[in-house]
Amino acid sequence: MTQATATPGARLLNADDHTLIMIDFQSQMAFATKSISAIELRNNAALVASAAAGFGVSTVLTTVAEKSFSGPMFSEVTAPFPDQTLLDRTSMNTWEDEAVIAEVNKIGKKRIVLAGLWTSVCIVGPALSALDQGFEVYVITDASGDISTEAHERAVSRMIQAGAQPITALQYLLELQRDWARSGTYDLTTGIAKTFGGAYGLGVTYAKSMFGASESHA
């Protein structure tokens, strides 16, 4: 008989077991992104970047043709990493860029989490390439977007069929925290949720303001 134990599943993410790669959050790419609103996209990207920086996740920020064509990376993404060098590429597939791969190998983690623009190009390329090379791949689908809902959904389906695991921005934050008794990151997590967590964040604000509520004291 199988016995349950109070231990997390092996597929759940921890702050120290993966590399986050945030790809091409740039103006030119955002202008034609229609599968998600620009406001929601920027909000979700900011949530992911803030969560990663706050939890100390190994993070790679990469752009494509920043100076000549695509423009600067969203300030919401770069602000949590003030000292980080952006790796600019010519290749549409991040995984074909030697500087990015050198950084991935330097970090040396088997799990890769991806978010960026566009899903069907900038995310499919590295996702399928990393999977081919034996990495576990997670894709933050609501911090990625494409020129149409069809393009985004087909890209996500293609990656899932190849073995990638889809997650959302808020799920990423809460999976890193995972236990409200982790007091060291409690204020960080609820603070990010209040700022970028939409209706959930409003609920946190309301509960704390009205009742002094704290999930860690359930």
Within-domain flag for 7 = no
122 is catalytic: yes
Domain that holds residue 111: 18-174
Tokens of 168: 């959302």
Judgement on whether residues 48 and 81 belong to the same structural domain of the protein: yes
Q: Do residues 107 and 210 share a domain?
A: no
- Look at residue 112 in the predicted model and tell me its pLDDT: 98
CB count within 10 Å of CB 16 equals 11
Asked if residue 18 has pLDDT above 70, the reply is yes
Instruction: Say if residue 100 is in the same domain as residue 191.
Output: no
> Each residue of 74-107: pLDDT tens digit?
999 999 999 999 999 999 999 999 999 999 999 9
Q: The domain that contains 164 carries what CATH number?
A: 3.40.50.850
**Peptide bond preceding 180 in cis form (omega within 30 of 0):** no
How buried is residue 104: exposed, middle or buried, by Cβ count under 10 Å (0-12/13-18/19+)?
A: buried
Question: 87, 122, 137, 159: which one is catalytic?
Answer: 122
The pLDDT of 138-161, averaged and rounded, is: 98
Would residue 6 count as lying in a domain? no
Residue 65 forms part of a structural domain: yes
Residues 160 and 210 in one domain: no
Q: What is the pTM of this model?
A: 0.93
Q: Residue 103 falls within a domain, yes or no? A: yes
Whether 56 maps to a domain, the answer reads yes
116 and 201 share one domain? no
Span of 111-115, 188-192, 204-208 with lowest mean pLDDT: 204-208
Asked if residue 71 is part of any domain, the answer here is: yes
Q: Are residues 44 and 98 in the same domain?
A: yes
Output the six-digit token pair for 10: 């092996």
Total count of domains within the chain: 2
Whether residues 111 and 196 fall in one domain: no
Q: Which residue among 159, 174, 189 closes a domain? A: 174
Based on the fold, state whether residues 119 and 185 are members of the same structural domain. Answer: no
Q: Quick one: 33 and 97 in the same domain?
A: yes
- How large is the average pLDDT for residues 193-207? 79
**Same domain, residue pair 125 and 151:** yes
* Confidence bin at 211 (pLDDT 50/70/90): low
